[in-house]
Amino acid sequence: MIGHMGDQSHELGMKSPITRRDFLDGVATAAVAGACAQGGSSYPRARTGEAEAGGFRGDTPDVLGVPHALRDGRFWEHAGVPDPTGEAYDLVVAGAGISGMTAAYRWLRQDPAARVLVLDNRSELGGGPEAQYRAPGGPRRPSGRPAMCRPEGRDLLDDLGVRPAEYDAREVGPGLGMYEAVYCDRETFPAERLVVHSPGRTTEDIVAELPINDTAKQDLIRLYEDPPDWFPGLTDEEKKERLAGLTYSAFLEEVCGAHPDVVKFCRTMPSAEWGYGSDAFGAIDAWAGRGRYPGFGGLGLDASKPSRYNSPTVAKRWSGHAYRFPEAMVSTMVARMIPGFTAARLDRPGNRLRIRLASPVVMAANDADGGATVGYFDGHRVRTVRAGSVILACRHTMIPYLVPELPPEQRSALGQAVRTPLITATVRLRDWSAWQRAGVGRVRFTGAYWVSAELDLPGGAGGEPILANLVRVPAVPGMPPAQGAVAGRRELVATPYEYLEFTLREQLTRLLGPAGFDPGRDIEAVTVNRWGHAGAREYARPWDAFHPDGPLPAEIASRRLGRIAIAGSDAVPEAGADAAVASAYRAVADLMA
């Protein structure tokens, strides 16, 4: 896979000097852990202006070192005896992401005199990649802001005085002659072809350009334009129940009898949004895609409300409103709790809120006197603090290693919270003229390494620098989502950064080269984020037979244990800020009841 890079590296600009080449590694091997802890990889990290390319640090080895040592049973062999700091707090929160900071903010709103400590294993505020996830039905942009649909999220925005704006479905790109497109790549079909969905083109026009079998073309047109009722004689509920038992690929193959080329063409339709392809994506959720997935038009299903089998985020589309969640919301909350805060002021003794970064929580235990003790690693030794209450707003799979007293049923449920891996890349380009000449602003690939490439909406002339965002879904095809996620994480470990940069350069060149794109000249900066544990995988049919009737593992996993409550998006479970906020509200309410 990697051996052929040398032949093309020079022409793709791999050796060209660029403003910045950042490696934001989520799951590096131990062999490179030392280098990454110092700056990322063999490439220099330029921290100044990092946000310019939209990059996040990711799950770096220094961030994951302690959690992985806990998981592997190595940590306590060398940690020594915990050393009390003598500090006591009303609330201690594990996790400085959206959920943890919402919990701290909510607690202080209800008890302004309280003293709160937030501990986090990262060296900067913001937590994990929840803010990179976008709500289904909103603008499908990797850099897009997540939506708030739940009442807790809207309440938080209102409490902070943030005036939310509803997602605007209008696009700037089409006004500049840039449209959605699909790139039929050589990884999937015998010939490569870019097919642009420009205005005025019929389904027949678009399908005629696809490099697929003629029978497949007829099948695809039928699925889009005139699909029959595949389940005649069944009621609405019975049809939805039948769909709930199928993946979208199985629906196309087994129910529609579609040609294999149709299945290949549709395989990556859900990938950028869901973290896996149509071979794992449920047919019942594809039906709810409002026409994005062909084949359902003849079923005559009631679309006025979601099916009981739909995944939670899909069901939320029927709520009618999704509000933008500002990207700086964590900082906004911190500023309310620590006025005029800077990095140097986060952990001052006089603060009602103290935030202690680079301090991973390693233990939490209820005490006999009705309080709790929390231990964290300060880089040298384990320190402990006393707490009236504790909220663990961290990954659920880590919690059994932090709280030994958990009952077996809860430990098992927490261990089921497998997260979806994700790789995102942000590329700063000299200009966006090649995109405009190609007539594209957002492209789905049918089988290439990066599943999507999208231009940030331009705000000025075509000659100005701009960002492009790419998404790679590591989940291994042909497996259920959870197993595919685990296998995909193993792939991340084995993939060097050089290959990630090579593939994005090569793929952008295949896409835009005919329109004059030159990677050596046009790419100014590259930031790659590898998230081994990106978004919480929500319950979905056909894989989770207990959904929606239960019992749901997340409900068991998030039960309060004495003075320890559990938050985080895994507690919903659902990827994104909306779930993180809702779980924080619930955890605070549990402890204050």
- Neighbour tally for 345: CB within 10 Å: 15
**Tell me, what CATH number does 511's domain have?**
3.90.660
141: helix, coil or strand? Answer: coil
DSSP type of residue 345: G
Structural domain contains residue 74: no
Task: Mark whether 551 and 527 lie in a shared domain.
Answer: no
E strands within 207-278?
none
DSSP type of residue 557: H
The residue among 536, 554, 571 that closes a domain is 536
Structural domain contains residue 171: no
Task: Mark whether 469 and 501 lie in a shared domain.
Answer: yes
Structural domain contains residue 273: no
Q: Whole-angstrom Cα distance, residue 371 to residue 529?
A: 39
Question: Is 385 in contact with 373 (CB distance < 8 Å)?
Answer: yes
Task: Mark whether 333 and 386 lie in a shared domain.
Answer: yes
Structural domain contains residue 178: no
Task: Mark whether 470 and 548 lie in a shared domain.
Answer: no
Task: Mark whether 39 and 130 lie in a shared domain.
Answer: no
Q: Which pair of tokens denotes residue 590?
A: 């549990």
Q: Whole-angstrom Cα distance, residue 181 to residue 345?
A: 48
| Distance, C-alpha 118 to centroid of its chain | 23
The residue among 520, 536, 552 that closes a domain is 536
Question: Is 360 in contact with 398 (CB distance < 8 Å)?
Answer: no
Question: Is 178 in contact with 440 (CB distance < 8 Å)?
Answer: yes
Structural domain contains residue 186: no
Question: Could you list the residue range(s) of the whole structural domain that residue 424 is in?
Answer: 5-67+418-536
Task: Mark whether 528 and 511 lie in a shared domain.
Answer: yes
**Tell me, what CATH number does 406's domain have?**
3.50.50.60
The residue among 492, 514, 536 that closes a domain is 536
Structural domain contains residue 73: no
**Residues 404-424 pLDDT 10s:** 999 999 999 999 999 999 999
φ/ψ bin of 277: left (φ > 0), alpha (ψ from -120 to 50), beta (otherwise): beta
Long-range contacts of 374-382 (CB under 8 A, 24+ apart): 374/92, 374/94, 374/119, 375/82, 376/119, 377/66, 377/79, 381/79, 381/80, 381/82, 381/83, 382/79, 382/80, 382/81, 382/82, 382/83
Structural domain contains residue 271: no
- Neighbour tally for 229: CB within 10 Å: 13
Task: Mark whether 344 and 481 lie in a shared domain.
Answer: no
Residues of the chain with pLDDT under 50: 1-3, 23-57, 130-146, 167-170
With CA atoms as reference, report the closest residue to 361 among 329, 320, 323, 402: 402
103: helix, coil or strand? Answer: helix
Task: Mark whether 313 and 406 lie in a shared domain.
Answer: no
Task: Mark whether 62 and 154 lie in a shared domain.
Answer: no
Distances (CA, A) of 222 to 212, 249, 300: 15, 16, 16
Query: Total domain count for the chain?
Result: 3
Task: Mark whether 454 and 402 lie in a shared domain.
Answer: no
Task: Mark whether 332 and 478 lie in a shared domain.
Answer: no
Structural domain contains residue 10: yes
Task: Mark whether 296 and 237 lie in a shared domain.
Answer: yes
| pLDDT score, position 59 | 55
